[in-house]
Structure 1
Amino acid sequence: MCLKCDFTIHAAQHHFGWDNSFTPVLRTEPGRSIAFECNDASAGQLTAASTTADVATLDFSLINPVTGPVFVEGAEPGDILKVSIHGFTPSGFGWTANIPGFGLLAEQFTDPALKLWTYDARTLDPALFSDIARVPLKPFAGTIGVALATPGLHSIVPPRRVGGNMDIRDLAAGTVLYLPVEVPGALFSIGDTHAAQGDGEVCGTAIESPMNLTLTLDLIKQTPLETPRFTTPGPVTRHLDGAGYEVTTGIGPDLMEGAKAAVSRMIDLLCAEHGLSATDAYMLCSVAGDLRISCIVDKPNWLMSFYFPRIVFD
């Protein structure tokens, strides 16, 4: 899988949630490169043969498996775990779903929906959504983190001060991520790999796709860090910028309501201009569009913007 990696951790070596009592699947010195095999976010419950009916029966106790954990020798509370992400080997299969009760507009989209994707894992050419839309790809890991000091099992779903399900699309090849260490060995895990996602992941899923990845784990000793930070190797939206954007807004005293309004208005625009169903437009927004805070200083109203890349329809 990786000729230059010191270790490989297979997809069967995964867990659900964060718990500092989990037994490490690997103990390694800092500076070693590791290959990880990662399952998709459904842990294989959704496959190329799945139908929309399978979305309604998902077992949420099996959502977002992460491969690991890895014990890094010498890691102590107060250290930083430096994660250098080298690259991804995608599978060519993915899925996007509207899961009832989940997502920014869950009250509006109450029925399950499923989009199955195939894409060229070698070239990463834009993936076909329909005969009028295709999505540029940018593989990354949605869930990446270390164990909490607080004992017990903690849900994998929300992001945390030690990382976790952050769903930041820029945690891609070349990015260096810094995570605060809270327990001896750090207990690092990674998974929830995506072929593409918009900022905000508004319907709750991206192009969820199993894939392999390689990274190096290093330590920065006794340098307290409150929450994750990262450095990118260059521009982060070049794959989407080429044809400009359509942008809708939401304005008001509540950021969440503004976010919902901006996304809803983009869904309306995509339906009107391209003949998409509302559900298809919602899922397309999740995998390709970016939700942004454009103004948060001019009270009493804040402004949210939703950017949708026109390149999807070129």
Structure 2
Amino acid sequence: MAETLIKVDLNQSPYANENIHNRWHPDVPMTCWVNPGDDFILETYDWTGGFIKNNDSADDIRDIDLSIVHFLSGPVGVKGAEPGDLLVVDLLDIGARPESMWGFNGFFSKQNGGGFLTDHFPLAQKSIWDFNGMFTKSRHIPGVEFAGLIHPGLIGCLPDQKMLDMWNEREIDFIATEPNRVPPLANAPFAPTAHMGKLTGPARDKAAAEGARTVPPREHGGNCDIKDLSRGSKVYFPVYVDGAGLSVGDLHFSQGDGEITFCGAIEMAGWVHMRVSLIKGGMAKYGIKNPIFKPSTITPNYKDYLIFEGISVDEQGKQHYLDVNVAYRQACLNAIEYMTKFGYSRAQAYSILGTAPVQGHISGVVDIPNACATLWLPTEIFQFDINPSAAGPIIHLDGSINMPISQDR
């Protein structure tokens, strides 16, 4: 049996656990050390540290202080790892905690985080998803059930000081271009809610003031939210500090490509069983700047899809030049509008796109002026036929079940 190197108590604040941190900084101490070839288990909080509850109110989604996230288990030091190496991480297995067989999906208020379609869904909403083995369904979104593709939304190694300074400089400069934007362009370091693991004293205070927020993906990996990074995957991470400093968290039971609702997957507490090894000098050998990975051989076996197209013409009819972001947004909005014809609210349809194993594709980026993006919606997740027919759509839902919503205060 693999040893569990980091344990979490879901009834305890993550701030009380010295094996947890919520900022990236090279001075965060290693929680433990392993040898290349070792396999081990890390337990994790959900990304909010337990702030979101299994209930029928979205007040917690509305009120969460997003400067506390993400709570990560680690960093784990790997003996012999040096800057320039590649840390090879095999994700052997991932699961939910037996005492917490549920997860949540949410839309953050535009005033507090927002999301990909925040202008269309500006208020906080939430859906709760219960796990039954490898399947999940929600009391807030009837008529749909699907197999999960469990994965860590966030995994990566510690940056060195040079890389940390580069991150902070470019992101703070970016914020300065539109400092009053809602939601903000990026998130600057914020010491008051920083949790720096075992670090104490003046060194802790300095690191808390400098530590990079965990919200975006960066060169080291981080919050990439790649749904196919599941059990059976292999990841090659650039190493920037001695020992590598591997951390993981933000586990998802399932997610659609893009994690478009921002709190966009089915977020859960859980555990990760992994094995590590090293490729010495691997960054230079393979020209690696960002992580690369091999996907799992285990994926939900959905074969029938409805594919929605979007082009780079926005909701107001404005033309954009080969803009994939605009095109994918239109594909998502087209899918949402389609699902409403079967009785779903727009919010329920949006939540399905964030949680179910939908695929997002960049289909064309050369045919000026329009990029083409596509969203692949698996039809087999629905408990009724959603394919177009000459008879027209049949309303399958009576509208009596909906998602909790909270107004901004």
Tell me if both proteins adopt one fold, taking TM over 0.5 as the criterion. yes
SS at match of 2:119: coil
Change (3 A) 1:306 1:211: same
1:48-80 deviations in Å (ceiling 9; x for gaps) = 246211111101122221100111111111100
Contact map agreement 2:106 2:125 (CA 8 A) in 1: yes
Kindly name which structure, 1 or 2, has the bigger radius of gyration based on alpha carbons.
2
Aligned residue in 2 for 1:131: 142
Q: Distance between the aligned counterparts of 1:46 and 1:133, measured in 2?
A: 23
Distance 2:347 2:301 in 1: 22
Alpha carbons of structure 1 residues 248 and 119: separation in structure 2 relative to 1, 3 Å: same
Q: How does 1:1-314 map to 2 (within 5 A)?
A: 3=1, 5-11=2-8, 12=17, 13-49=19-55, 51-91=57-97, 92-101=101-110, 102-120=114-132, 123-128=133-138, 130-149=141-160, 150-151=163-164, 152-204=210-262, 205-224=264-283, 225-234=288-297, 236=299, 239-242=300-303, 244-252=304-312, 253=321, 254-272=323-341, 274-288=342-356, 289-314=358-383
Q: CA deviation at 1:246?
A: 1.5
Aligned residues: 305
Question: Separation in 1 of the partners of 2:325 and 2:301?
Answer: 25
Give the SS at the match of 1:35.
strand
Distance 1:303 1:53, change over 3 A: same
Partner-residue secondary structure (3-state), 1:294:
strand
Whether the 8 Å CA contact 1:6–1:32 is kept in 2: the answer is: no
Equivalent residue letter for 2:302: D
5+ residue gaps in structure 1? Answer: none
Compared with structure 1, are the counterparts of its residues 65 and 310 closer, same or farther at alpha carbon in structure 2 (3 Å cutoff)? same
Q: For residues 138 and 128 of structure 1, what CA distance do their matches in structure 2 show?
A: 16
* Aligned AA (2:213): S
Cα RMSD between the aligned structures? 1.5
Tell me the TM-score normalised to structure 1 length: 0.93
Q: Which structure features the higher share of strand residues?
A: 1
Contact 1:240 1:309 in 2 (8 A): no
2:387 aligns to what? none
- For 1:34 and 1:99, locate their aligned partners in 2 and report how far apart those are by CA, in whole Å: 34
The secondary structure found in structure 1 opposite 2:232 is coil
TM-score by length of 2: 0.72
Give SS of 2:265's match. coil
Q: In the TM superposition, what is the alpha-carbon distance from 1:301 to its structure 2 partner? A: 1.7
Q: CA deviation at 1:131?
A: 2.9
Distance 1:6 1:55 in 2: 35
Give per-residue Cα distances to partners, 1:187-209, cap 9 Å, x unaligned: 11001001000111111120001
Specify the SS of the correspondent of 1:292. strand
Alpha carbons of 1:182 and 1:105: their partners in 2 closer, same or farther (altered >3 Å)? same
